[in-house]
Amino acid sequence: MKACYTPYSGPSTLSQAKARLNIHGLWRHFRFEGEPKVSCPCPWREDHKPSFSVNAAGTLWNDFATGEGGDAVDFFQRASGLSKTDACRKFIELAGGHFAPTPQAARPQPEPVEVKPKPIFPDFRKGRAEDLQQVAERRRIGREGIEFASERGLLWFAVLKNLPAWIVTDSARVNAQARRMDGQQWEHIGAKAWTLPGAWASWPIGIREAQPFPAIALCEGGPDFLAAHYLALWEQASHLSKWDVSCIPVAMLGASQRIHADALPLFAGKRVRIFGHDDEAGRGAVERWAAQLASVGGDVDAFSFNGLQQVDGQRVKDLNDALLMNAESFACVERMLPL
């Protein structure tokens, strides 16, 4: 096992700064047009049909068109264009006296936030043999893992924007993210992963299905989620055709997301290992999710891909890459998923 992150314990300078400076204050700081509220235009892109949301407390935001979202620090980073490290430092500085947000009592109290309705998604279909094979080849994941995810009801297919797509969703049907079968970007958002309109982007895919299992591999994004299904069979099943595993994958579909408050209790008492991408956003996500999971008593650590290499010499950046590790990296890792 490579290096693990330690669970969060107690308040930090950053958490204190977030208690002092919220998204309402940041909105004024950046002089964005309009007001931040439950339904409003996105402040940093053209948004003729409002698809942006800020909660009443000004602590969380979500862009339903792109699937982005997070807390006040994530908002500051996205608005400023700074790196995660620089954004955190500037945010703390801003909250420490260089910026004085209007006191909450001085502005009209926002109306209570309504519970977000369950989205209505297009009809999805189960994958045919050729669909599963195409995803397996495109993502370079053993077909057994793709079949495992499909049989668990977490991998679906549809035609969206007149293009064949594979979709990650679950029985809760509150979150769904689509990728084109050809691996190209969705032209309407300029990204490969499209969180469908109305989705609860912070809902962890597969968390309800994970309840019978003692351990969870919490993955960042759909491809890693599928890769983790194959890895679970490879490391823990008595045979690739059997699904007798103790650890099961759950996915957060975006590094900027926070775990939905209603889903957090479902992690309680579980052994959780987080697999964030080996980049700045991924490391920030690991810290955020670890802190949330520690708050409900989860037994949490995180896997580090640092120093691992693929067979072609490229560095391993995520769990999907890890399926193509060279012999030296495999010998170093030994086992990736928790028991």
Residues 175 and 268 in one domain: yes
Same-domain pairing of 238 and 323:
yes
Identify the pLDDT of residue 112.
Answer: 40
Inside any domain, residue 1:
no
pLDDT for 115? 57
Whether 97 is covered by a domain: the verdict is yes
Instruction: Give yes or no: residues 99 and 185 share one domain.
Output: no
Q: How many domains does the chain have?
A: 2
Q: Are residues 195 and 50 in the same domain?
A: no
Q: End of a domain among 71, 106, 141?
A: 106
CATH number (domain holding residue 299):
3.40.1360.10
CATH code: domain of residue 71: 3.90.580.10
The answer to whether residues 142 and 215 belong to one domain is yes
Q: How far is CA 339 from the centre of its chain?
A: 23
Please say whether the beta carbons of 57 and 72 come within 8 A.
Answer: no
115 within a domain of the structure (yes/no): no
Task: Kindly state whether residues 177 and 325 are assigned to the same domain.
Answer: yes
Q: Are residues 184 and 288 in the same domain?
A: yes
Sheet holding 52-54, edge to edge: 52-54, 60-63, 68-71
Tell me, yes or no, whether 64 and 137 share the same domain.
no
Do 192 and 304 belong to one domain? yes
**In-domain check, residue 122:** no
Taking the C-alpha atoms of residue 227 and residue 135, their distance in angstroms, rounded to an integer, is 11
For β-strands 271-275 and 299-302, DSSP reports them as parallel
pLDDT along the chain (339 residues), means of 10: 40 73 90 89 85 87 84 90 84 67 38 64 96 97 96 97 97 96 96 95 96 95 97 88 90 94 92 94 92 88 92 95 91 84
pLDDT at 5: 40
CA separation for the pair 257, 288 (Å, rounded) = 9
Hey, how many other C-beta atoms are within 10 angstroms of the C-beta on 31? Answer: 7
Same domain, residue pair 62 and 171: no
Last residue of a domain, one of 106, 137, 168: 106
Q: Quick check: is 202 in a domain?
A: yes
Task: Report pLDDT for 97.
Answer: 47
**Domain that includes residue 84, residue range:** 13-106
Structural domain ending residue among the three candidates 73, 106, 139: 106
Domain membership flag for residue 211: yes
> Is 7 inside any structural domain?
no
243 shares its domain with 290: yes
Do 302 and 227 reside in the same domain of the chain?
yes
Give how far Cα 136 sits from Cα of 144, 178, 195, 206, 242, Å: 9, 16, 21, 20, 18
Q: Is residue 200 part of a domain?
A: yes
